[in-house]
Amino acid sequence: MKVLVINCGSSSLKYQLIDSDSEQVLAKGLCERIGIDGRLTYQKAGGEKEVTDEAMPTHKEAIQLVLSALTNSKTGALEDLSGIDAVGHRIVHGGEKFSSSAIVTDDMIKEVEECSSLAPLHNPANLIGIRACQELMPGVPMVGVFDTAFHQTMPKKAYLYGLPRDYYTKQGIRKYGFHGTSHSFVSKETAKFLGLDLNHSKIIVAHLGNGASICAVKDGKSVDTSMGMTPLSGLVMGTRSGDIDPSIVQFISRNEGLDVDGVMDVLNKKSGVFGLSDGLSSDFRDLESAAGEGNEAAAEALDVFAYRVASIIGEYIAVLDGVDAIAFTAGIGENDGLVRANVMNYFHYMGIEIDPEKNQLRGENVKISTDDSKVAVCVIPTNEELMICRETVALVK
């Protein structure tokens, strides 16, 4: 089957056309600046990347341009649109309604709309993408794959906050967790790669990208994760604060003369390693080169990041009552050996040892722990698009 995977943001849209049998990407790209002016990036497998400025007043025009690029007589990956067998959509928030991926129907769309209050920036954009595809590709089966679904197996003791109970029962305030597609993919890949029985395994996945979260996976199921009701909590991230004392919101509001939205903006966009490094950068490559040149704020930002990752991994070793494997993934997790080494340094006490040479390898599944390390530590590149493709095929077939 050929599956078009769509990841729709408020002003951007990423896409991949995947052959589900070979799991090869046939074409991929990006629409940016939707509703502003519009830029389409398209790349056929083995071909050159093409970037064109094209008007995209709405997501509908953006998807129309993607479909034209995919069927272009010279550079297209398809002869015509009938070559697309199914569409898989990333949806950020499925609330408590979706514990797995779901076929797109009118009822399903209504339920996703009902979850929109939990992700007001993301779910409406995801739905716009779904509706645009329905209009342009009537009759093609579509599936929604939720970032939150994998974490619906968390027990109540992990997802309830210490708040008045009816905030949960009436408003749905609880931990949901995110990056579920990645945590699910990477935990499965880790088990396969190490020859573990997923159904009898204890795996911790550290998805460390610009947004970052950790997941404790027991017997293939998420039992806890570090993001919460929103993707702001848990780890210190690129620009997000992660967990802070909630009273700080009131304190900043008073001292800086900001309303709650203003404080939330600071916590989302001006904090994390970016804020800690005094606005130097949210990119770990910049922070590491600055720290190497003696920039103390950058060095401290890196220390805080690694400390927080290690603290949560330590917490999840207790939650899982032990651990068989720890997997690093996403931009930082896959590429930054220094971060991995700094994090794993906290676990010498339990006999975890990293092999410095293997820790330099990139771009593939690799075990970076030594042969006599008490726990296997791996780098497993994530592939959310492939996971969305697999989920789509599983439901459509």
Whether 147 sits among the annotated catalytic residues: the reply is yes
Q: Which lies closer to ligand AMP via its Cβ, residue 218 or residue 340?
A: 340
Report the nearest approach of ligand AMP to the CB of residue 261 (Å). Answer: 25
| Eight-state DSSP code of residue 359 | G
CB 374 within 8 A of CB 326: no
- Site pattern 156..195 for ligand AMP (x: CB under 6 A): ----------------------------------------
The answer to whether residue 368 forms part of the interface with ligand AMP (CB under 6 A) is no
CB 59 within 8 A of CB 34: yes
Residue 4, C-beta contacts closer than 8 angstroms, at least 6 positions apart = 15, 16, 17, 70, 84, 86, 87, 88, 133
d(CA 388, CA 397) in angstroms, rounded, equals 14
Report the nearest approach of ligand AMP to the CB of residue 272 (Å). Answer: 10
SS3 at position 116: helix
d(CA 54, CA 150) in angstroms, rounded, equals 37
The answer to whether residue 277 forms part of the interface with ligand AMP (CB under 6 A) is no
**Which residue in the set 150, 178, 185, 284 belongs to the binding site for ligand AMP (CB under 6 A)?**
284
Catalytic residue among 21, 37, 107, 147: 147
Q: Shortest Cβ contact with ligand AMP: which residue?
A: 331
Q: Which lies closer to ligand AMP via its Cβ, residue 192 or residue 285?
A: 285
What the block records as the tokens of 42 is 């398209």
The answer to whether residue 283 forms part of the interface with ligand AMP (CB under 6 A) is yes
What the block records as the tokens of 178 is 């995110």
**Which residue in the set 95, 180, 209, 234 belongs to the binding site for ligand AMP (CB under 6 A)?**
209
Report the nearest approach of ligand AMP to the CB of residue 350 (Å). Answer: 26
Beta bridge partners of 14: 7, 30
CB 360 within 8 A of CB 239: no
Using CB under 6 A as the binding rule, the residues of this chain from 235 to 274 that contact ligand AMP are 238
- Site pattern 323..362 for ligand AMP (x: CB under 6 A): -------xxx--xx--------------------------
Binding segment for ligand AMP among 68-76, 132-140, 153-161, 280-288 (CB under 6 A)?
A: 280-288
For the range 272-279, what are the long-range contacts, defined as Cβ-Cβ under 8 Å and sequence gap of 24 or more? 272/236, 272/237, 272/238, 272/239, 272/240, 272/241, 272/242, 273/236, 273/237, 273/238, 273/239, 273/301, 273/302, 273/304, 273/305, 274/238, 274/239, 275/239, 275/241, 276/236, 276/300, 276/301, 276/304, 277/301
Write the secondary structure of 297-326 as one string of H (helix), E (strand) and C (coil).
Answer: HHHHHHHHHHHHHHHHHHHHHHHHCCCCEE
Binding segment for ligand AMP among 21-29, 114-122, 282-290, 368-376 (CB under 6 A)?
A: 282-290
Neighbours of 353 (CB within 10 A): 17
Q: Which lies closer to ligand AMP via its Cβ, residue 29 or residue 209?
A: 209
Report the nearest approach of ligand AMP to the CB of residue 207 (Å). Answer: 8
Q: Which lies closer to ligand AMP via its Cβ, residue 177 or residue 238?
A: 238
The answer to whether residue 12 forms part of the interface with ligand AMP (CB under 6 A) is no
**Which residue in the set 71, 116, 210, 295 belongs to the binding site for ligand AMP (CB under 6 A)?**
210
Binding segment for ligand AMP among 81-89, 262-270, 277-285, 300-308 (CB under 6 A)?
A: 277-285
Beta bridge partners of 306: none
Q: Which lies closer to ligand AMP via its Cβ, residue 210 or residue 268?
A: 210
In order of 98, 105, 132, 144, 262, the CA distances from 111 in angstroms are: 9, 10, 18, 12, 30
Q: Which lies closer to ligand AMP via its Cβ, residue 168 or residue 307?
A: 307
Catalytic residues, by residue number, are 147
Residues in contact with ligand AMP by CB under 6 A are 209-210, 238, 282-285, 330-332, 335-336
